[in-house]
């Protein structure tokens, strides 16, 4: 458990050093809003294709540890290529090449680490949020520090933290033991089709796609809007750090919340809060208000992400935990593609505030689809009576 928690801490240190600042870094290279959207779409497209492959490999070799550290090393190489593209002036093609390599690696870290965590927890899957909370706490600290660093030394300085954190992720995740004893058998494609044949899963994936489309249409341009409304990179870091700080208590108390309200209702609430935050962001007159409403993003992300991982962990057939999380990552990646492309088009043709307004409406539609998916599928329970974590491999209470 300690190694898993440390794995999340070092990995999300890397995320904290990059996620809030990469869009600002791209803008510092002279790229326009449409190009930033295209970069985000390239990243998500890579994740869409590669994440299920990483998950399938992890399932096919349940005793091997190599997939996680290998993915982190590939990601570090991609981040270095992005820095080189800025240093040598290769422009958008060089940045996209680095992004493709980066997200080829990133696609194998998050979902496989999530699957490894669920594997380690066994029937006690509702504790996933408590493991993941260490990542959010790390994100808060590093995002705040790197924001001040970037404002003092320049946007490219984020890579001085980002690349070493990815390499440290490789070292730490190599020490996490495997618990798997069941080999899923068959190809990656067969495992994916078996999982998608599980009742209720296809509609849930559609709802997930819509949720992440609306969420990422806003997220992809949030940092840029903070700067556009008069904030600096320190304020950008603060906005994301405040949001991540709110995630920590929600993730830590997720077992209790799920036990009282049900994971299904928490997933619906998460989608609704995405709409609330997007609507308020559309009305924000200055950067300070964008920071003030940032905690709402922490609520929505914690509920939708932890809820989604936990929900699928309970629905996945035996031996397909990695495949389930890989497909979840691919679905969120597809949503990111759609959100980034349409977000860039809307923001470029109108304003970022207009984009946020459209995102609010789209989020409400997504919440409706998620509600149909999870409520019609029925409530999942664990052996200890806590809802939301799953039927066991044969469909009985876990």
User: Please, what CATH class does the domain formed by 2-175+186-377 belong to?
Assistant: mainly alpha
The pLDDT tens digits for 280-301 are 999 999 999 999 999 999 899 8
Predicted local confidence at residue 384, as pLDDT:
37
**255 is written with which tokens?**
């077992």
Domain residue extents for the chain = 2-175+186-377
Percent of the chain with pLDDT over 70: 90
Predicted local confidence at residue 339, as pLDDT:
85
Predicted local confidence at residue 187, as pLDDT:
59
Predicted local confidence at residue 39, as pLDDT:
87
The whole-model pTM stands at 0.69
Which of 102-106, 116-120, 130-134, 200-204 is least confident? Answer: 116-120
The alpha-carbon radius of gyration of the chain (Å, integer) is 19
Is there a contact between 111 and 123 (Cβ–Cβ < 8 Å)? no
Checking if the pLDDT of 377 tops 90, the result is no
CA 41, 341, 57 angle in degrees (round to 5)?
Answer: 30
Distance set, CA 250 to CA 139, 191, 264 (Å) = 15, 32, 15
CA 365 to chain centre: 21
Q: How confident is the model at residue 378 (pLDDT cuts 50, 70, 90)?
A: low
The pLDDT tens digits for 142-199 are 988 898 888 888 888 999 999 999 999 999 988 887 765 454 445 567 777 877 777 7
The pLDDT tens digits for 239-282 are 888 888 888 899 889 888 988 888 889 999 999 999 999 999 99
**DSSP per-residue letters across 10-72:** HHHHHHHHHTTTHHHHHHHTT--HHHHHHHHHHHHHHHHHHHHHHHHHHHHSTT--THHHHHH
């Amino acid at each position: 458990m300690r190694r898993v928690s440390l794995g999340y801490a070092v990995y999300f240190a890397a995320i904290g050093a990059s996620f809030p600042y990469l869009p600002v870094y791209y803008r510092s290279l002279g790229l326009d809003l449409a190009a930033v959207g295209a970069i985000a779409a390239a990243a998500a497209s890579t994740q869409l294709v590669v994440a299920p492959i990483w998950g399938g490999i992890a399932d096919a070799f349940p005793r091997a540890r190599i997939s996680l550290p290998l993915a982190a090393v590939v990601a570090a190489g991609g981040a270095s290529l992005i820095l080189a593209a800025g240093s040598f002036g290769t422009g958008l093609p060089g940045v996209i090449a680095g992004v493709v390599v980066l997200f080829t690696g990133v696609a194998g870290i998050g979902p496989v680490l999530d699957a490894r965590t669920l594997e380690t927890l066994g029937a006690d899957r509702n504790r996933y949020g408590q493991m993941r909370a260490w990542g959010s706490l790390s994100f808060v600290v590093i995002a705040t520090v790197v924001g001040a660093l970037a404002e003092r030394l320049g946007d490219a300085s984020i890579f001085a933290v980002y690349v070493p954190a990815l390499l440290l992720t490789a070292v730490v995740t190599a020490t996490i033991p495997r618990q798997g004893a069941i080999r899923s058998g068959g190809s990656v494609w067969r495992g994916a089709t078996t999982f998608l044949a599980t009742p209720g899963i296809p509609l849930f994936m559609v709802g997930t796609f819509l949720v992440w489309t609306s969420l990422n249409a806003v997220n992809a341009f949030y940092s840029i809007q903070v700067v556009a409304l008069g904030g600096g990179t320190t304020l950008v870091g603060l906005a994301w750090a405040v949001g991540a700080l709110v995630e920590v208590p929600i993730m830590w108390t997720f077992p209790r919340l799920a036990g009282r309200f049900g994971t299904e209702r928490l997933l619906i609430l998460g989608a609704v809060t995405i709409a609330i935050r997007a609507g308020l962001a559309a009305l924000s007159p200055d950067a300070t208000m964008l920071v003030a409403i940032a905690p709402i993003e922490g609520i929505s992300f914690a509920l939708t992400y932890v809820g989604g991982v936990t929900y699928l962990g309970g629905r996945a057939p035996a031996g397909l935990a990695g495949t389930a999380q890989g497909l979840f990552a691919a679905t969120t990646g597809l949503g990111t593609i759609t959100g980034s492309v349409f977000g860039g088009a809307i923001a470029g043709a109108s304003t970022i505030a207009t984009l946020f307004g459209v995102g609010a409406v789209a989020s409400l539609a997504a919440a409706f689809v998620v509600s149909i998916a999870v409520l019609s599928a029925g409530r999942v329970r664990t052996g200890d009576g806590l809802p939301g974590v799953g039927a066991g491999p044969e469909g009985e209470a876990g």
